[in-house]
Amino acid sequence: MLPNISLDQLLLLDIETTPAVAAFDFLPDNMQSLWVDKIAKTLPETGNPTEAYADRAGIYAEFGKIICISVGFFHVESGRYQLRIKSFYNDDEKVVLTSFLELVNKFHIKFPRFQFAGHNIKEFDIPFICRRSVIHQLSLPLPLQIHGFKPWELPMLDTMQLWRFGDFKNYTSLKLMTAVMGIPTPKDDIDGSMVAKVYWQDKDLERIANYCQKDVVAVGQLLMRFKGIPLLETEDVVYSK
């Protein structure tokens, strides 16, 4: 698969998000009522909108924030692919976004036809980044000015979309895909459902960044599988500070 995709023309990414504030009660009054209005449409009849805030606000760009963006890019070193990883994380979302958007601009100058790559980035990561950037009044780089694009024109390689093979009813998690593709992944002490707690209660942002980076590595390994080339070894993954 992917005979026309060059790995060194990809910018891999993954984001971690949390509710914008620690609890529903900390929202301004107008945002509280807007949250109840939004979530009531999807909650079961017995659901409690205020209790749902902690678990679900982080998936909505209007009520969540980005605390980490991890990126990765391939290059060839001594005849082997190497994946270089870098993370932007901060309590101040604008700092995270500004650093990421600057990197996108630089990458676009070097690789004008590059594509973003990740798992479910078409439906989650990229729209979330764009919406939060607009909220912060940050200028979107040219590769993220995608509002008028047709779905097949988007400069994105989404591993979840690749796995669908035209089946648009199917959702497969990154964890399940790596398992069925025989890709070893480290045993993590957290998963996506725990990020908000680790952030707001444990105050451990670096731990979240480490988790985010592992998802980028997992995407990189999936792409190697799709292309039918040997997986990355531990020493092939390089982390930048």
**pLDDT digits 0-9 by tens, 56-102:** 999 999 999 999 999 999 999 888 999 999 999 999 999 999 999 99
- Asked if residue 30 belongs to a domain, the reply is no
- Asked if residue 42 belongs to a domain, the reply is no
**pLDDT digits 0-9 by tens, 50-65:** 889 999 999 999 999 9
Residue 123 structural domain: 7-20+63-240
- Asked if residue 111 belongs to a domain, the reply is yes
CA pair distance 70, 208, nearest whole angstrom: 10
- Asked if residue 92 belongs to a domain, the reply is yes
For residue 215, give the nearest of 118, 126, 122, 125 by alpha carbon.
118
- Asked if residue 26 belongs to a domain, the reply is no
Give the per-residue pLDDT at 152. 74
Stronger pLDDT, 44 or 5, i.e. the higher one:
5
Are 174 and 33 contacting, i.e. CB atoms less than 8 angstroms apart?
Answer: no
Give pTM, 2 decimals.
0.95
Total domains in the chain come to 1
Over 80: is that where the pLDDT of 47 sits?
Answer: no
For residue 54, give the nearest of 192, 200, 188 by alpha carbon.
200
- Asked if residue 83 belongs to a domain, the reply is yes
Per-residue buried b or exposed e for 82-93, using 16+ beta carbons within 10 Å of the residue's own CB? bbbbbbbbbeeb
What is the residue-averaged pLDDT of the chain? 93
- Asked if residue 75 belongs to a domain, the reply is yes
Give the per-residue pLDDT at 166. 83
The encoded tokens of residue 227 equal 């292309």
- Asked if residue 81 belongs to a domain, the reply is yes
Tokens 């971690």 sit at which residue? 16
Give the per-residue pLDDT at 45. 67
The CATH number of the domain holding residue 108 is: 3.30.420.10
